[in-house]
């Protein structure tokens, strides 16, 4: 027994000694951290080379051990997600061993090739940007900004990928790109600036990759539509300007499936002052067969948790996603590793939880009753989800029950 312990201890020691930045840790940072921790991105400090990383070694060890970094909020016990950026158990122990072993540099020739940020993609089919920059004055709460982009589309377009590129990544909290269908009154003269049922083409959040449909699938922009950007800005201590750009890639051929972004919302929020765990639920049934691709919970500063569930027969509940520590500043999209068929009639239940107490460090005012509203200090409860349906089905026809159901 004693012999075994000695061996184990030596094994650990040797491992800690051997782990070096260039050979072991740098590839992990490239894969999991540098999308945000690079100049011009939202990460507070760049982690691009040994000199930049070394002073942060201890904090890095803690941030990864506590699973604070990279940001990801899905309960690991529920579901598997294609875009889960979390470190594997192996990667985690490598980083820990490196920190414990003195955060050595190792030899430069072991370093991996630097990662080029831009993915190699063909030239986009369409590039458009906000007609003029938007000013984000220092220290102010800005209403959502809506910007109609040109041109309007003269023919139907199938879209396979969209990249939303903020002009100033430090102030763009999120961006949602809508397809305003022909005939829609939204944001036109005489229309109150209310919500919309327009389809969503893409959502930008810091650090997230571009929107890309799986092979054989695409989103549709019907002829006569135009694109509308909803921008949520965070102001800084100094004035800023942003002019976001959109890049669009069209599908090379008509896809088999169309991707629709659907949503269920609970507008009837009435969160009492000081409530620690206010629950808001919404349920509905899927009118036609659809393949679930991804989920995107949206709440504001009081949001603390969110669940997507299927209500099965005999009270069986199947949880698809559980976000336990919802954080308004990280609006994340959870893409299923294996898309899942939702047969017509499937009952979905979405539940949002809110902490309106003083315990919630983000709470702007625990003495206030909070209801639905667009501003961050008001609340929302929206469960967005992307589904794939046959290419001939659009949003209105999706909600007309198939005959015989």
Q: How many CA atoms lie within 13 A of 32 on its CB side?
A: 22
Q: How far is the CB of 327 from ligand HEC (least distance, A)?
A: 8
Residues that bind ligand HEC (CB under 6 A): 32-33, 35-37, 42-44, 56, 59-60, 63-64, 69-71, 85, 87, 206-207, 329
Choice between 27 and 224, CB closer to ligand HEC? 27
Q: Give the residue with the Cβ less far from ligand HEC, 1 or 116.
A: 116
Instruction: Work out how close the CB of 89 gets to ligand HEC at its nearest, in angstroms, rounded to a whole number.
Output: 14
Q: How far is CA 157 from CA 126, 129, 239, 335, 388, in A?
A: 11, 18, 38, 24, 17
Taking the least distance from each CB to ligand HEC, the nearer of 73 and 384 is 73
Closest distance to ligand HEC from the beta carbon of 194 (Å): 32
Q: Which is nearer to ligand HEC, 43 or 383 (CB)?
A: 43
Q: Which is nearer to ligand HEC, 44 or 151 (CB)?
A: 44
Min separation Cβ 304 and ligand HEC, Å: 16
Kindly state the smallest distance separating residue 130's Cβ from ligand HEC, in Å: 23
Residue among 117 and 405 whose Cβ is closer to ligand HEC: 117
Q: How far is the CB of 11 from ligand HEC (least distance, A)?
A: 25
The three-state secondary structure class of 115 is: coil
| Cα–Cα dist 394/261, whole Å | 11
Helices 2-18, 89-100: inter-axial angle, 10-degree rounding: 80
Tell me which residue of 170, 178, 253, 172 sits closest to 211, measured CA to CA. Answer: 178
Q: Which helix (H) or strand (E) holds 25?
A: none
Question: Quick one: residue 119, left, alpha or beta (phi over 0 = left, psi -120 to 50 = alpha)?
Answer: beta
Q: Are 233 and 171 in contact (CB under 8 A)?
A: yes
Q: Where are the beta strands (DSSP E) in 266-302?
A: 278-285, 290-298
Distance of CA 359 to the CA centre of its chain: 25
Residue of minimal Cβ distance to ligand HEC = 207
DSSP string, 327-354: -TT----EEEEEEEEE-TT-EEEEEEEE
Angle at which helix 57-65 crosses helix 89-100, to 10 degrees, equals 150
Minimal distance, residue 31 CB to ligand HEC, in Å: 8
Pick between residue 42 and residue 260 the one whose CB is nearest to ligand HEC.
42
């Amino acid at each position: 027994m004693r012999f075994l312990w000695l061996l184990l201890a030596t094994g650990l020691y040797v491992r800690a000694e051997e782990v070096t930045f260039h050979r072991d840790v740098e590839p992990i940072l490239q894969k999991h951290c540098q999308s945000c921790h690079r100049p011009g991105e939202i990460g507070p400090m760049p982690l691009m080379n040994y000199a930049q990383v070394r002073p942060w070694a201890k904090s890095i060890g803690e941030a990864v051990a506590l699973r604070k970094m990279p940001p990801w909020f899905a309960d690991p016990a529920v579901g598997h997600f294609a875009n889960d950026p979390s470190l594997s158990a192996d990667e985690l122990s490598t980083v820990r061993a490196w920190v414990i072993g003195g955060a050595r540099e190792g030899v430069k020739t072991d370093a991996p090739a630097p990662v080029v940020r831009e993915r190699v993609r063909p030239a986009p089919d369409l590039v458009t940007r906000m007609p003029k920059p938007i000013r984000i004055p220092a220290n102010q709460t800005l209403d959502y900004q809506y910007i109609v982009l040109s041109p309007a589309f003269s023919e139907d377009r199938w879209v396979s990928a969209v990249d939303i590129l903020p002009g100033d990544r430090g102030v763009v909290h999120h961006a949602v790109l809508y397809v305003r269908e022909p005939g829609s009154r939204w944001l036109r003269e005489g229309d109150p600036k209310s919500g919309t049922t327009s389809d969503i083409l893409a959502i930008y959040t810091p650090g997230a990759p571009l929107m890309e449909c799986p092979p054989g699938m695409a989103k549709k922009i019907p002829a006569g539509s135009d694109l509308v950007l909803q921008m949520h800005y965070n102001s800084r201590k100094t004035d800023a300007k942003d002019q976001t750009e959109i890049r669009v890639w069209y599908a090379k051929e008509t896809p088999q499936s169309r991707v629709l972004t659907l949503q269920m919302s609970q507008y009837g929020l009435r969160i009492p002052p000081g409530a620690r765990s206010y629950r808001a639920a919404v349920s509905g049934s899927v009118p036609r067969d659809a393949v679930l691709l991804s989920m995107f919970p949206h709440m504001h500063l009081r949001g603390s948790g969110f669940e997507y569930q299927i209500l099965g027969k005999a009270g069986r509940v199947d949880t698809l996603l559980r976000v336990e520590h919802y954080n308004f500043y990280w609006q994340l999209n959870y893409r299923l590793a294996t898309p899942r068929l939702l047969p017509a009639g499937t009952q979905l239940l979405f539940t949002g939880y809110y902490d309106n107490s003083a315990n919630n460090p983000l709470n702007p005012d625990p003495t206030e009753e909070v209801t639905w509203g667009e501003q961050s200090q008001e609340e929302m409860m929206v469960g967005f989800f992307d589904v794939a349906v046959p290419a001939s089905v659009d949003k209105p026809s999706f909600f007309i029950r198939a005959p015989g159901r």
